[in-house]
Amino acid sequence: MVDALINLIDAILGNPVVLSILAGAAVTYVASCVVKPYKICKACNRSKESHSKLYKGAFGPCRACKGAGHHVRVGARILGRKL
């Protein structure tokens, strides 16, 4: 069972077509992270605000993104891009 899985992975990684597709996808992702390093904060949907459920009208900075309205993408964080 494990041998079959290793053979399958070996066959995939040994295939130049699959490798070039994977490399292309990786290059595209890295370029995308350089040009567009952020993703929308799903908690506040870029409003940067966290509204109180208990007190109507009360709100503060979004706790998920700390009031930024966005998150830094994982790839961008790995590349060392700040903000």
Residues contributing to the site for Zn ion (CB under 5 A): 41, 43-44, 62, 64-65
Q: Which is nearer to Zn ion, 67 or 75 (CB)?
A: 67
Q: How far is the CB of 83 from Zn ion (least distance, A)?
A: 15
Q: How far is the CB of 62 from Zn ion (least distance, A)?
A: 3
Helix axes 2-14, 16-35, angle to 10 degrees: 70
Q: How far is the CB of 39 from Zn ion (least distance, A)?
A: 11
**74 touches 81 (CB < 8 A):** no
Q: How far apart are CA 3 and CA 9, in angstroms?
A: 10
